[in-house]
Structure 1
Amino acid sequence: MVRKLKYHEQKLLKKVDFYSWKVDNSGHENKILRKYHIRKREDYTKYNKLARNIRDLAEKISKLESNDQFKAEASAILLDKLYNIGLVPTRFNLENAGSVSASSFCRRRLPIVMVRQKLSQNAASATNLIEQGHVRVGPEMIKDPAFLVTRNLEDFITWIDGSAIRKHVLEYNDMKDDFEF
């Protein structure tokens, strides 16, 4: 528990509310942090900044004249990059780039993709497995749960060769090779 404030402390802090600040949207932020099991708040703030920059860029591109050649090239490049990362569902509509949010980045994190591919039951256990070193993407072992998985890398998420998890999965599916282990 917190000690009771002294009289002069109460006078100083009379107009300050520590539970709901107007500056930050902590209620929404905490909900997103829990939903996607993000342990570092800095990651979420980076995603917010990136999403804001993308939305600003998409808005600037959309304000260009419709017959401008640069508008067509810039929107094609932006949408192609966002589609390859996996932040937008299609690469044909610039309005999709205007709807990119921090949650779009959170959905591309490795633990969430592992849950979607049924490699783990929930994001918390997937985060623990990643931090313990059981997961690799392509040839590299990944220990950072903030790793963003692109559309190309989704197919290459698997267990590390010497992982006990991989051994249990192979035993369960009756595919275990005694020579490997």
Structure 2
Amino acid sequence: MNQAVKPDTQAIVVDDIFPHAPEVIWKALTSGELIGRWLMAPTGFAPVVGTHFTFQTTPAGAWDGTIHCEVLEVVSNERLSYAWRGGHEGNVGYGAPLETVVTFSLSRTDTGTRLRLVHSGFVLPNNDTAYRKMSEGWKKVVANLDRVAAEQASPQKLH
């Protein structure tokens, strides 16, 4: 394998344990409607390797705010990984080019499920703004994921 010199990269890691079975967390990770409740509404998402889908966020400069994704790995109730690309080469700071990978890993624990989110590939200093903002953002997103999973796990639904 070609071991070319890579620029300095950084990863965001969020590790948490939820009081829900892996199947409940998996459903929240792989249902487009549920993803829209804890992250952003995806367009074209399916938990199938090779599926291309998008998220839409706030545009900046020459970037239209579209995040282009491709499902890279699907292991039911264990692992979901997708490419996360966005930005524009004309932007500096927010909206700078971003070529990263988001991976959710699930493992059963005595009290529920350990979720480990790794968003890798931030090239520093170019992606410093995205890295800082998304480091805080993913913590909130994971808390939202827990809330959505709890709603799915609850036998009573609010009407």
Q: Give yes or no for TM over 0.5.
A: no
Q: Identify the structure with bigger relative contact order (alpha carbons < 8 Å, sequence gap 6+).
A: 2
- Pick the structure with greater CA Rg: 1
- TM norm structure 2: 0.23
More strand by share: 2
- TM norm structure 1: 0.21
More helix by share: 1
